[in-house]
Amino acid sequence: MHNDRIHAIHALAARAAEQPAPPARATIEDFGSDVFGEQAIRKYLPKVVAEKLLATVNSGAPLDPAIAADVAHGMKEWAVDRGATHFTHWFMPLNGGTAEKHDAFLEPAAGGKAVFAFSGKNLVLGEPDASSFPNGGIRSTFEARGYTAWDPTSPAFIKRHANGATLCIPTAFCSFGGEALDRKTPLLRSIQALKKATTRLMRCFGLPDEPVRVTLGAEQEYFLVDRAFWLQRPDLVQTGRTLFGAPPPKHQQLEDHYFGAIRPRVLKFMEEAERELWRLGIPAKTRHNEVAPAQFELAPVFEELNLAVDHNMLVMEVLRQCAERNGLVCLLHEKPFAGVNGSGKHNNWSLAYGARNLLDPGDDPAQNAIFLTVLCAVVRAIDLHADLLRTTTAGAGNDCRLGGNEAPPAVVSVFLGDQLADVVSALARGSRGAARKAGTLRVGVDTLPPLPRDATDRNRTSTFAFTGNKFEFRQPGASQPCAAANMFLNVMVADSFDRFADQLEKSPPEAFNDTLQALLRRVFRKHERVIFNGDGYSAEWVAEADRRGLPNLRDTRQAIAPLLDGANQALVAKYGVLSKVEMESRHEVALEEYERKVGIEGGIALEIARSMILPVVVDAYSKAATTLGRASADGLSAGLAGLRAEAETLGRGLDDLSSRCAGLEKALAAGDPGAVLAAMAAVRETVDALEHEVDDAAWPLPKYREMLFLY
């Protein structure tokens, strides 16, 4: 086994990652120090320019193009003061990650010298070649250019490396024709649509206009494995998950990992990652051990949605890089290890109007009427468009997680908690008997009793749970960017708000209470079926959901089909978020990515099975057969049965492995993802059984009991 190639891998495992050590201590003053935020803006820009930019950042005023040159100059001065030599437009193409192409600030100057310069045009617009990013057929080959456009609402920041730093400018990425080629463009459009609809609805309640803020808190789950193990697992290196591995006797069943004491090595890593996140102005707040061994979570304080989405992309990047620096690898795949919990990204979404969280029940009846209206709008949105939301959690990785071990099912349902569900049910029935204590429930602005605050029990099994003052969507996978789910959520809720406003606006003021009451009653009645407060992980729920007619889109191909649905396309287009063509392109990108990922998994599974496992099994079998032959020639009796059984098991394993590998090869050639996944599962079954039979010292892949426990 020990040829030079293997030695090189060992050497790589031993080499310390080449990144600068972080400063020894994190102080709270460091928060945001690598961000071109309000403080830096005021310090580095002329006063009028600073005020104009801050008006855009803080209250969404249109950007004055005349300030671009001054902003660019000040931003560059700030970045150079922090050691930057280069800048990049930083964007989110449809490949699931972020993209950057660095340019030096360098400009040749007289006398063979050079200076640092950065123009307004460089800040505002970039023209990266778009031809190598997924575009789902939008970009014709003769127009290879894509355009990146500065998003001033997400502040520029600095990324550091061992020898310097780069100024990163968050941008949207579009085609020549203006079609979105990224995740930020439609997200921004959807935020605008929801803000508009919210303002309209709040006016129905007689409220003065106030700034609307869509908010997101994205909880990030991940696994850590030692880099030395990772380097010995071609499946982890190539696909992010283990394609083989027998579950060890002890995994998570003792429930001794969740919230357990964090091991010092992991804590050191977390501390470093958080220090970096704080410098980037990302409010990393909570850290803890998760349910599965070697699984962890990081949760930030919620922020404005667009910023929170960008920040989550940075969280994933910083976790990966810090892990590497610590001799670890951070796995963001949704199901790196079969048989234990997978990793999700709980998407906590809410809506604020001025200082008020519209999903906060609050104490006074007037606020409660608004709360119930918003709640009702969300319930309607989810019932009508669960399929659209489900498209955003599709993917080869999340397919391995959803509906699996302690993971939400593929059905989207709303959890309200018993008390709130009672209130809703009383409202829907409008009958005396149904309402507890409160008698018949009236939503009138002055008649509704205070709602129970924070009365929701924590249902961890719901896909879309109301958790006191926000909704938590639990289906998204750990590796998935937050943009898509929230983009559709915004559109769906905007549509509900607009339908409500259509009716409320028509009502004369004196009839407002009655109109609202009737509206909520009708809508809750119609969409109650999507509310489920029981155990979402149970098989009974899946059957019940089917009876209720809720969609259960099990795998990626089913889950992305609603992107092609005419009604969905019309809805999303109506709000100017994605055109029909853009929806279709997203379908194509998702399908292609899924097929390619499954193809890669099948390919690497076959390679591992044939070139790493098979030789070891052949060896073990021939040893066992030789020993058996000698033992019978020598006339041994007592051990013979055991030796024969061992040789037979290995022989059968060898046979199975060969034929199942042939099956996988055939499925790969046919190119059908379903068949490839089934053939991979068959090969895995044989390999995992053989893992228990073959001499431990000869097994070529690090085992689950090692990767999950030794770090």
In angstroms, give the least distance from the CB of 538 to Mg ion: 20
With CB under 5 to 8 Å by kind, the binding choice for 171 among ligand ADP, Mg ion, none is: none
Q: Which does 301 bind (CB under 5 to 8 A by kind): Mg ion, ligand ADP, none?
A: ligand ADP
Tokens of 164: 């310097």
Q: In this structure, is the dihedral angle defined by the CA atoms of residues 61, 67, 73 and 74, taken in order, positive or negative?
A: negative
| Residue sitting closest to ligand ADP (CB) | 217
User: Which lies closer to Mg ion via its Cβ, residue 76 or residue 346?
Assistant: 346
Contacts of 675 (CB under 8 A, 6+ apart): 667
Residue 711 and residue 327: Cα distance in Å, rounded?
A: 10
Between 118 and 464, whose beta carbon lies closer to ligand ADP?
464
CA distance 228 to 237: 12
The DSSP result for 31-83, as a single string, is TTTTB--HHHHHHHS-HHHHHHHHHHHHH-PPP-GGGHHHHHHHHHHHHHHTT
By CB under 5 A, which span of 17-25, 284-292, 341-349, 382-390 interacts with Mg ion? Answer: 341-349
Which residue, 346 or 703, has its beta carbon nearer to Mg ion? 346
Distance CA 244, CA 267 (A): 29
292, two tokens: 């599965």
For residue 465, the minimal CB distance to ligand ADP (Å) is: 9
CA distance 462 to 344: 13
What is the nearest approach in angstroms of ligand ADP to the Cβ of residue 352? 7
> To the nearest whole angstrom, how small is the minimum distance from the Cβ of residue 198 to ligand ADP?
14
Nearest CB to Mg ion, comparing residues 68 and 218: 218
Q: Which of 183, 345, 346, 660 binds Mg ion (CB under 5 A)?
A: 346
Q: Which residue is nearest to Mg ion (CB)?
A: 346
Per partner kind, with CB cut-offs from 5 to 8 A, the member of ligand ADP, Mg ion, none near residue 337 is none
State in angstroms the smallest separation of the CB of 297 from ligand ADP.
8
Q: Provide the minimum distance between the beta carbon of 549 and ligand ADP in the complex, in angstroms, as a whole number.
A: 29
Read off φ and ψ for residue 17, nearest 5 degrees: -65, 140
Distance separating alpha carbons of residues 626 and 371, to the nearest angstrom: 76
Nearest residue (CB) to ligand ADP, 115 versus 301: 301
Stretch that binds Mg ion, among 168-176, 290-298, 339-347, 538-546 (CB under 5 A): 339-347
- Nearer of residues 87 and 302 to ligand ADP, judged by Cβ: 302
How many angstroms separate the Cα of 346 from the Cα of each of 312, 313, 408, 472?
A: 12, 14, 11, 6
Give the DSSP letter of residue 392: T
Select 372 or 667, whichever has its Cβ closest to ligand ADP: 372
- Residue 245 — left, alpha, or beta (φ > 0 → left; ψ -120 to 50 → alpha)? left
Question: In whole angstroms, how close is the CB of 341 to Mg ion at the nearest point?
Answer: 14
Nearer to ligand ADP, 78 or 353 (CB): 353
Q: Measured between alpha carbons, how far is 293 from 330 in angstroms, rounded to an integer?
A: 14
DSSP bridge pairs for 189: none
Write down the least CB distance from residue 7 to ligand ADP, Å: 45
Task: Give the interface with ligand ADP as residue ranges (CB under 6 A).
Answer: 215-217, 219, 299-302, 348-350, 357, 467, 469-470
Compute φ and ψ for 355, nearest 5 degrees. Answer: -90, 0
Q: Which is nearer to ligand ADP, 63 or 284 (CB)?
A: 284
* Three-state DSSP state, 594: helix
Q: Quote the CA–CA distance of 452 and 461 in Å, as a whole number.
A: 22
Binding partner at 495 among Mg ion, ligand ADP, none, C-beta below 5 to 8 Å by kind: none
Quote the CA–CA distance of 150 and 521 in Å, as a whole number.
Answer: 45
DSSP secondary structure, 681-696, as one string: HHHHHHHHHHHTTS-G
Beta carbon of residue 349, minimum distance to ligand ADP (angstroms, whole number): 6
Residues with Cβ within 8 Å of residue 208, at least 6 apart in sequence: none
Which of ligand ADP, Mg ion, none interacts with 466 (beta carbon under 5 to 8 A by kind)?
none
524 binds, among Mg ion, ligand ADP, none (CB under 5 to 8 A by kind): none
Q: Which amino acid belongs to residue 519?
A: L
Min dist CB 214 to ligand ADP, Å, is 9
- In whole angstroms, how close is the CB of 357 to ligand ADP at the nearest point? 5
What number of helices (H) and strands (E) belong to the chain? 23, 19
Name which of 528, 26, 507, 533 is nearest 273 in CA terms. Answer: 26
Q: Which does 461 bind (CB under 5 to 8 A by kind): Mg ion, ligand ADP, none?
A: none
Q: Which is nearer to ligand ADP, 351 or 372 (CB)?
A: 351
Q: Of residues 533-592, which lie at the interface with Mg ion (CB under 5 A)? A: none
Instruction: Report the alpha-carbon distance of residue 701 to residue 654 in Å, rounded.
Output: 17
* Contact partner at residue 216 from Mg ion, ligand ADP, none, CB < 5 to 8 Å by partner kind: ligand ADP
CB of 305 to ligand ADP, least distance (A): 9
Residue (89 or 346) nearer to Mg ion, CB: 346
Residue 470 engages Mg ion in binding (rule: CB under 5 A): no
Residue 169's SS3 state is: strand
**Minimum CB separation from ligand ADP for residue 711, in Å?**
24
Nearer to ligand ADP, 349 or 371 (CB): 349
In the list Mg ion, ligand ADP, none, the entry touching 587 (Cβ below 5 to 8 angstroms by class) is none
Which lies closer to ligand ADP via its Cβ, residue 469 or residue 552? 469
Nearer to Mg ion, 71 or 378 (CB): 378
What minimum distance in Å lies between the beta carbon of 291 and ligand ADP? 13
Residue 350 binds: one of ligand ADP, Mg ion, none (C-beta under 5 to 8 A by kind): ligand ADP
Nearer to Mg ion, 218 or 530 (CB): 218
Q: CB 346 → Mg ion: shortest distance, Å? A: 5
Beta-strand runs (E) in 443-571: 464-466, 471-473
From the list Mg ion, ligand ADP, none, partner contacted by residue 405 (C-beta under 5 to 8 A by kind): none
Tokens of 535: 């155990």
580-608 vs 640-670: helix axis angle to the nearest 10?
A: 150
SS3 string, 419-433, reads: HHHHHHHHHHHCCCC
In this chain, which stretch among 6-14, 51-59, 346-354, 694-702 interacts with Mg ion, using CB under 5 A? 346-354
- With CB under 5 to 8 Å by kind, the binding choice for 122 among ligand ADP, Mg ion, none is none
What is the Cα Rg of the chain in Å? 28
Segment near Mg ion (CB under 5 A); pick from 71-79, 340-348, 552-560, 587-595: 340-348
Contact partner, 215, from ligand ADP, Mg ion, none, Cβ < 5-8 Å per class:
ligand ADP
β-pairing verdict for 303-304 and 414-415: unpaired
Three-state DSSP state, 414: strand
* Binding positions for Mg ion, rule: CB under 5 A: 346
